[in-house]
């Protein structure tokens, strides 16, 4: 049972480049979400999804897109990378939106030069 | 609106001593409270939660947390710290009446000295 899998683990981008952070879970979880973690700021929610075909914005959605075509996958797209998007990104899922236990991936460390 | 505060950026404790990591919250209705732990270069792992019932909640790795409604606190505790407990700890809250999305605190770095 792999849980929540994120790829890549590390990525360096140049300003203006685009890329997709991958997230997959094999637990048949309805709820999936993306967070960014910055020093002294804790975790901030970027986007979330309560099921296939349904997505919504979190606290800091600007500069990011998401889609949920399947239950398993929830990719995060950076449209035009900026240095302010340098961060560690975590994907998290839970069985249902109101289920209280989140399962986190191991993170993607992104640097934008 | 819901919010959570972790007043200490870092907590230092000697191995074998009891530890406390503090968390206070603010919600309109009843709180759902959680603790997560993050080891270096890893994602967060669920430790324990309070939904309702007994104010003392027991979780993984010997940790427990005490819910105090009058002080709006949910401090994480362990009777005897281990060096391997050194990690980043996050408190999170969700308002029973509000969004199902939890709000996370900024995190507290726990350092246990041998």
pLDDT at A100 over 90: no
Q: Residue B41's pLDDT is what?
A: 83
The arithmetic mean of pLDDT across residues A67-88, rounded, is 96
Q: Residue B1's pLDDT is what?
A: 82
pLDDT at A63 over 70: yes
Q: Residue A71's pLDDT is what?
A: 95
Q: Is the dihedral of CA B72, B46, B111, A85 positive or negative?
A: negative
Q: Does A98 touch chain B (CB under 8 A)?
A: yes
Residue A1's pLDDT band, with cuts at 50, 70 and 90, is: low
Give the mutation candidate from A43, A103, A105 for the B interface (greatest B CB count, under 10 A).
A43
Contact call for B46 and A101, based on CB within 8 A:
yes
- Percent of chain A scoring above 90 in pLDDT: 88
Spatial distance between the Cα atoms of B110 and B37, rounded to a whole number of angstroms: 10
* Contact in structure between A76 and A35 (CB atoms under 8 Å): no
- Enumerate chain B positions whose Cβ falls within 8 A of a Cβ in A: 9, 32, 34, 36, 41-46, 49, 51, 90, 94, 100-102, 104-107
DSSP β-ladder status, B108-113 and B87-95: antiparallel
Burial A33-72 (b: 16+ CB within 10 A, else e): bbbbbeeeebbbbbbbbbebeebeebebbeebebbbeebb
Of the candidates A24, A26, A45, the residue with the CA atom closest to the CA atom of residue A34: A45
Residue A99's pLDDT band, with cuts at 50, 70 and 90, is: low
Chain A residue numbers touching B100 (CB-CB < 8 A): 97-98
- Percent of chain A scoring above 70 in pLDDT: 98
The arithmetic mean of pLDDT across residues A39-44, rounded, is 86
Give the mutation candidate from A50, A104, A108 for the B interface (greatest B CB count, under 10 A).
A104
| Phi/psi at A31 (5° precision) | -95, 130
Residue A39's pLDDT band, with cuts at 50, 70 and 90, is: confident
pLDDT at A111 over 90: yes
Spatial distance between the Cα atoms of A82 and A71, rounded to a whole number of angstroms: 30
DSSP state of A26: S
Q: Does A54 touch chain B (CB under 8 A)?
A: no
Nearest CA in chain A to B8: A40
Q: Residue B52's pLDDT is what?
A: 84
Contact call for A40 and B44, based on CB within 8 A:
no
Contact call for B106 and A33, based on CB within 8 A:
no
| Phi/psi at A84 (5° precision) | -65, -10
Report the residue count for chain B. Answer: 114
The arithmetic mean of pLDDT across residues A24-38, rounded, is 94
Nearest CA in chain B to A96: B100
Output the tens digit of pLDDT for each of chain B's 114 residues. 889 999 999 999 999 999 999 999 999 888 999 999 999 888 899 999 998 888 999 999 999 999 999 999 999 999 999 999 999 999 999 988 877 788 999 999 999 999
Of the candidates A110, A104, A96, A100, the residue with the CA atom closest to the CA atom of residue A43: A104
Q: Give how far Cα A60 sits from Cα of A47, B7, B67, B83, Å.
A: 8, 23, 30, 35
DSSP state of A59: S
Contact call for B43 and A41, based on CB within 8 A:
no
């Amino acid at each position: 049972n792999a849980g929540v899998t994120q790829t890549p683990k590390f990525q360096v981008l140049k300003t203006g480049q685009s890329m997709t952070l991958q997230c997959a879970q094999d637990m048949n979880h309805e709820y999936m979400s993306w967070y960014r973690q910055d020093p002294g700021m804790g975790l901030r929610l970027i986007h979330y999804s309560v099921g296939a075909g349904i997505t919504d914005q979190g606290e800091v959605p600007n500069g990011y897109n998401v889609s949920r075509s399947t239950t398993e996958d929830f990719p995060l797209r950076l449209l035009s990378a900026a240095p302010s998007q340098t961060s560690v990104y975590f994907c998290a899922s839970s069985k249902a939106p109101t289920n209280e236990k989140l399962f986190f991936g191991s993170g993607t460390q992104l640097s934008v030069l | 609106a819901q919010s959570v505060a972790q007043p200490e950026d870092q907590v230092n404790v000697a191995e074998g001593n009891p530890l406390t990591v503090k968390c206070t919250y603010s919600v309109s209705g009843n709180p759902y409270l959680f603790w997560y732990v993050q080891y270096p270069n890893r994602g967060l792992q669920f430790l324990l939660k309070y939904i309702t019932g007994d104010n003392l909640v027991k979780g993984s790795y010997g940790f427990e947390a005490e819910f105090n409604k009058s002080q709006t606190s949910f401090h994480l505790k362990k009777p005897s710290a281990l060096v391997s407990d050194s990690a980043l700890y996050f408190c999170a809250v969700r308002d029973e009446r509000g969004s199902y999305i939890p709000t996370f605190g900024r995190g507290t770095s726990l350092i246990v000295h041998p």
